[in-house]
Structure 1
Amino acid sequence: MTFRLTAPAIALLLSSVAPAAMAHAQHQPWQGTIAPVAPTPQNTPLALPRALPPIPAPTEATYPGIIRYEVDATDVERKIVSVRQTIPVKSGPLVLLYPKFLPGNHADTGPIQLISGVTVSGAGQRIEWLRDTIEPYAFHIDVPQGVSEIVVEFQWLTQPDNSQWRVVMTPDMLNLQWEKALLYPAGYHSTGITFAPSIKLPHGWNYGVSLDTETFANGIATFKPVDLYNLIDSPLFGGAHFNRVDIDPKGEGVHLNIVGDKASQITLTDEQIGWFENLITQGDRLFGARPYDRYEFLVAATSQMGGIGLEHHRSSENTVPTDFFTNWGKSLGSVGLLPHEYVHTWNGKRNRPADELTANHNIPTQNTLLWVYEGQTEYWGDVLTARSGLAPVQDIITSFAEIAAFYDNQPGRGWRPLQDTNNHNLLGYRTSNPYSSWMRGTGDYYREALLIWLDADTLIREATNDRKSLDDFAKGFFGGDEGSYAPRGYTFDDVVANLNAVHPHDWASFLRERLDAAGPDAKAPLDGLARAGWRLTYTDALTDAEKKIQTGWKNDFQYSLGFTLSGTNRISNIRWGGLAFEADIGPGWELVAINDTAANADKLREAVTANKDGSAPIKLLMKRGEQYRTVQFDYTDGLRYPRLERIEGTRDRLTDILSPRRR
């Protein structure tokens, strides 16, 4: 039985205890008894106009009729999307839901706060609605007798800047994510509700989308009716400057749909088209079968619309810098974005963790296998980036060095296992924190998991004398069913069984040891690098090619003084347990001077280098608000940037992994 003290009782109890007795009691076991207190009723709606019926659970029944769904996206200056839905109904209680758990976000991120002006009418009369007080994503409606359809109208007030939610409308482009601007009936699976969508675009605009267009005239595009699941999985990029490029060597329907802030930003060279064609070919050779009938890359070359990289069955949303095509290779992260999202069509969409296959978009998701969903996708995304020629092999090796160094120096594994980081989005969607090396988070089930999959790949290669590899797992686990994009769920046991089908091993222990390790002896999973013929080292002088990949090297003192220096001399990314941390440097400090001269990153690098012989201690004058302090470091190991170097006399399996497949 559980006993509960009410707040007044606790206050009365504490007020009668002397401070010294309270201090003593904090260290003593409770020896008295507490009388049970009747619990206060919880979650009981009070003073509502009427009692609210329960929200119907989803069933496999088909919703009767088709919901006509009209979107007006022409108000780009005020950034307002207007919606009109005509919903077949019958009289009685009806609950409409706003999508809460959004695919690819792995959390309850539906921005219902941006929905305004909700009105409902039927048979020419206004019908009142009532928001559920427990689940505010639900709207309760009593449909009057004689009403066979209702009209629901509202606005999605998209954001003017990226401070809270990303910008999705600019004067020249739009990223329409249907789930941000619709309501749907509760009580049904998302595959059992049919929508007939249409959109009105500004004059002269064109668009890319994986929906089937029925007509496009006078700026209005109407699409073939589609179930809610596939509607939400089919976002649209539209714009005044639009280019559509066929990149399917088989000619079966894979396209780049590109919008840009300017017309000059959306044209590809023949060489670039060839690399993207190679991406499709190498994807075919890796996985063996396509889980789509056609695929649409949606790409925005923009500095005005908010950044995104989001996967879908038959498309993906990708934003890249405005000079992505005109200054190729400037950012490896941008180049690797499209391959990553493309891999998701196999891993994450058609095949996905079973605990993410929910009946509709208001059933909570679970994320226990994100280290497969995102982690193995991160691995294959980088592999296909190299195999296609989108980036040189050496660029990926340099990137792997950065990843290995980060996790080799991550103190957070002392308390938090990688498995727990799968819950990170559910704890607060991609929230920031001042000590990411200690907190751990979203990036870990991507990038540390990449190292685990490299470990698995090289183990298979070594054990089979390089006759088999993780490629065989990819083809067996994610392949098959050419053209089908009906989702299939997988479990941990499925992953283990399919690894064993490639090479018998205690894969369950292999994975759990790496996923669950925490404590002072927990290490980063770097064995795969050694089996691949490489080791992690550090250098004080990067090559020009390495500087292109490690773009923040000028301001990076992570592996020396233990922080990053911003362009405005703010100290950030303070590494937990590093030199700066141990010197009581926390968030908010600004570097003012170095050895009595005005500070900047160049001078700090010079100071760190000058003290390699111990003759010139590093003295930093720092400011936070009106407070100043001087900190001195006797650090003598110089600048340290990560690098992978070959282990002499070993097979270079890493280059083998990153090289294109010929069949």
Structure 2
Amino acid sequence: MKKILVAAMLLVSSAAKAATYYQISIDQGAHHLGDVSVSFAKTGQSYIDAKFPAWRTGRYDILNLANGVRYFNAADAQGNALQWQKIDKSTWRIFLNEPTAVTLNYQVYANELGLRARHIDDTHAFIDASGFFMYSEATRNDPVTVQLEVPEGWRSVSGMSKGKNQHEFVAANFDVLVDSPIETGINELHSFKVDNRDYELVIWGEGNYDSAKMVADLKTLVQTGHVVWDDYPYERYVFMVHATSGARGATEHLNSTIIQRHRDKFAKREDYLGFIATAAHEFIHTWNVKAYRPEGMVPYDYVAPNYTRLLWLAEGSTSYLEDHLLLRSGLMTKKEFFKDLGKRINTHLKTPGREVQSAAHTSFDKWINQGGDHGRNYSTNIYSEGSLLSMALDLKLLSDSNGQVSYRDVHRLLYNRHKLPKGFNEQDVIAILNELSAQDYTDWWADNVDAPMNLDFDALLNKVGLERVYPEDAKPIASLDVNISTDKGLLRLEHVRRGGASWQAGLTAGDLIVAIDGRRISTDLATTLSAYSAGDKVSVSFFRRDRLQQVSLTLGQDYDKGAKVQPVKAPTPQQLALFKAWMGVELGD
């Protein structure tokens, strides 16, 4: 920390060029440590509150990111120590005896790659401001400069504009900084231009990816914005990719995204489709969330939950629209689209929580909703539920307007009328639906958004010439109605479907199944159950709290292959026209 204290005086003089000056020094990468300095401009307040974000944009969970801070101290313009007191888990109060500039120094431990907020090692650093930088509400809207001190040979890339050197970035304010992560380290960089806009693809980590193909397909993807919106909200966009051993997921940002995938999950077509679909999802977020979003998240409160009943629209609609971009651009085939849609519907129908929690409710409760067994039985998911709800709304609009109005028009108007910092609410969305359709969608909203939706997928798909059927070779099989994992050679129940065979028998998540009818179960449960039929009564032996127990149950029924979505055999002209209006391509070959 001595080095930072010496640097503090230099930072104060540099801070005159920007209201807030950040510096991060990385020379202990192997230990995941970064030394941070924050310099605030001169203030006459009796104290300033330096806040550390408790969550990061794009992930609606309180992460308590201040837990990585150590060695905190504060100094005035002359380098004299200032008194401070921590007043809550995310706030440091610095007391001022006279008007002065203030410099904060602290160390951050950054070893949580999967959070996509902070990670440092000996080859790179992923720097999301929410995981590294304190801010003050008094200076939140002032311009900022970020200077990185990193090992020689590292390259730094961000959606922010470059400053005086390759490791310095500038932003209009803290909100831009917190939505513009930095990838610095040993990486692969590709730059390209499409329609006079600049793009970069930066890849950290080795993997079985084909970067040339990634660039070519991203060039195709970024031309699809017109499918929904009238213009682009950026002049430059950065795709950041991490090829890792474990962390996976993605997060949208103002004019960039970070995508994490297992290093061996790029080459196979199914894996690569997952990558390009994720890229499409985050690209859509450049409009939906980053250019317009529900008013409950405007402006962001970085230390508390930001409540809205419209997260299903922010996230689920984004998941829904990604297929529109991929299919229309040729990056996804119709067969792949039908397969993906079938899987989404199957997952929904096997999630009992869909009968309990509405899309609006799960949106508001995203900050506290549990995952796992209880979550699947009593909750929904803003992504999958929101995607199917968006599809239902789209098909209703198309059907009501004879193909003239779609859900894409809803998002186009949200973008045109509610650009940040305006925000929008539920009544704004309903008003747009009513305007576009010349009908009243209030009751539909109450029945499907405010209440748990109960969709008739057969009727919905039939409107566009599709049907949901089981493959001809699908066979009915006996089922315990559970999801399992392997635990030291035993079968652990991870999810027991509410109302299913095991649920009714009293089995619960965490039970270890060891035998059926006195015969030991192998780790291949399907092979064991193949000797039975749905409706058979069996005795199940299991361990709970390390005690062997036994119950009788009646086996349920499932199929060895899930239902699939496919075109009907003889679509009508109306179905063909509506499918074309829906997805932008012909239903036939």
Is the 1:565–1:601 Cα contact (8 Å) retained in structure 2? no
How many equivalent pairs are there?
560
Is 1:242 matched up with 2:184?
no
Which of these residues, 555, 558, 567, is aligned with residue 635 of structure 1?
Answer: 555
Query: Equivalent residues in 2 for 1:585-596 (5 A)?
Result: 585-594=507-516
Q: 1:300 to 1:657 in 2, by over 3 A?
A: farther
Is the 2:300–2:306 Cα contact (8 Å) retained in structure 1? no
Q: 1:632 to 1:365 in 2, by over 3 A?
A: same
* C-alpha separation in 2, matches of 1:457 and 1:655: 13
**1:565 match:** 484
* C-alpha separation in 2, matches of 1:152 and 1:480: 41
Query: Equivalent residues in 2 for 1:152-551 (5 A)?
Result: 152-159=104-111, 168-187=119-138, 190=140, 192-216=141-165, 221-246=167-192, 248-260=193-205, 262=206, 265=208, 267-270=210-213, 272-303=214-245, 306-330=247-271, 332-358=273-299, 361-362=302-303, 364-427=305-368, 431-441=370-380, 443=381, 445-478=382-415, 487-518=421-452, 523-524=454-455, 526=457, 527-538=459-470
* C-alpha separation in 1, matches of 2:394 and 2:202: 34
Is 1:130 matched up with 2:85?
yes
* C-alpha separation in 2, matches of 1:325 and 1:245: 20
* C-alpha separation in 1, matches of 2:273 and 2:541: 35
Q: 1:291 to 1:600 in 2, by over 3 A?
A: farther
1:447 counterpart letter in structure 2: S
Residue 567 of structure 1: how far off its partner (Å): 4.0
* C-alpha separation in 2, matches of 1:90 and 1:494: 41
Is the 1:589–1:624 Cα contact (8 Å) retained in structure 2? yes
Residue 629 of structure 1: how far off its partner (Å): 3.3
**2:7 match:** none
Q: 1:161 to 1:274 in 2, by over 3 A?
A: closer
* C-alpha separation in 1, matches of 2:391 and 2:268: 31
Q: 1:96 to 1:369 in 2, by over 3 A?
A: same
Query: Equivalent residues in 2 for 1:53-72 (5 A)?
Result: 66-72=19-25
* C-alpha separation in 2, matches of 1:68 and 1:595: 69
Could you list the per-position Cα deviations for residues 496-534 of structure 1 after superposition, in whole angstroms to 9, with x for gaps in the alignment? 23223432222222222101225xxx6246353342333
Is the 2:65–2:130 Cα contact (8 Å) retained in structure 1? no
* C-alpha separation in 1, matches of 2:446 and 2:194: 40
Is the 2:187–2:202 Cα contact (8 Å) retained in structure 1? no
Instruction: State the secondary structure of the residue aligned to 2:194.
Output: coil
Residue 613 of structure 1: how far off its partner (Å): 7.8
2:339 counterpart letter in structure 1: T
**2:69 match:** 115
Residue 72 of structure 1: how far off its partner (Å): 1.5
* C-alpha separation in 2, matches of 1:450 and 1:161: 27
**2:526 match:** 605
Q: Which one is further off, 623-632 or 572-581? A: 623-632
Q: Which one is further off, 102-111 or 365-374? A: 102-111
Q: 1:636 to 1:349 in 2, by over 3 A?
A: closer
* Structure 2 residues without counterparts, runs of 5 or longer: 1-15
Is the 1:253–1:294 Cα contact (8 Å) retained in structure 2? yes
Q: 1:511 to 1:331 in 2, by over 3 A?
A: farther
Q: TM-score, normalised by structure 2?
A: 0.85
Residue 160 of structure 1: how far off its partner (Å): 6.4
* C-alpha separation in 2, matches of 1:401 and 1:577: 23
1:370 counterpart letter in structure 2: L
Could you list the per-position Cα deviations for residues 30-70 of structure 1 after superposition, in whole angstroms to 9, with x for gaps in the alignment? xxxxxxxxxxxxxxxxxxxxxxxxxxxxxxxxx99611110
* C-alpha separation in 2, matches of 1:508 and 1:197: 48
Residue 394 of structure 1: how far off its partner (Å): 2.1
Residue 379 of structure 1: how far off its partner (Å): 0.7
* C-alpha separation in 2, matches of 1:645 and 1:95: 58
* C-alpha separation in 1, matches of 2:75 and 2:186: 35
Give the superposed CA RMSD.
Answer: 3.2
**1:583 match:** 505
Q: 1:345 to 1:588 in 2, by over 3 A?
A: same
Q: 1:144 to 1:136 in 2, by over 3 A?
A: same
Q: 1:69 to 1:107 in 2, by over 3 A?
A: same
Greater gyration radius: 1
Is 1:83 matched up with 2:22?
no
Instruction: State the secondary structure of the residue aligned to 2:31.
Output: coil
Residue 633 of structure 1: how far off its partner (Å): 4.6
Residue 276 of structure 1: how far off its partner (Å): 2.0
1:185 counterpart letter in structure 2: S
Q: Which one is further off, 497-506 or 628-637? A: 628-637
Residue 208 of structure 1: how far off its partner (Å): 2.3
Q: TM-score, normalised by structure 1?
A: 0.76
Q: 1:505 to 1:256 in 2, by over 3 A?
A: farther
Residue 338 of structure 1: how far off its partner (Å): 1.2
Query: Equivalent residues in 2 for 1:98-109 (5 A)?
Result: 98-109=52-63
Could you list the per-position Cα deviations for residues 627-647 of structure 1 after superposition, in whole angstroms to 9, with x for gaps in the alignment? 223455543735352322444
Is the 2:116–2:128 Cα contact (8 Å) retained in structure 1? no
Is the 2:299–2:421 Cα contact (8 Å) retained in structure 1? no
Percent identical residues: 19
Q: 1:206 to 1:514 in 2, by over 3 A?
A: same
* C-alpha separation in 1, matches of 2:362 and 2:177: 30
2:454 counterpart letter in structure 1: K
* C-alpha separation in 1, matches of 2:285 and 2:239: 12
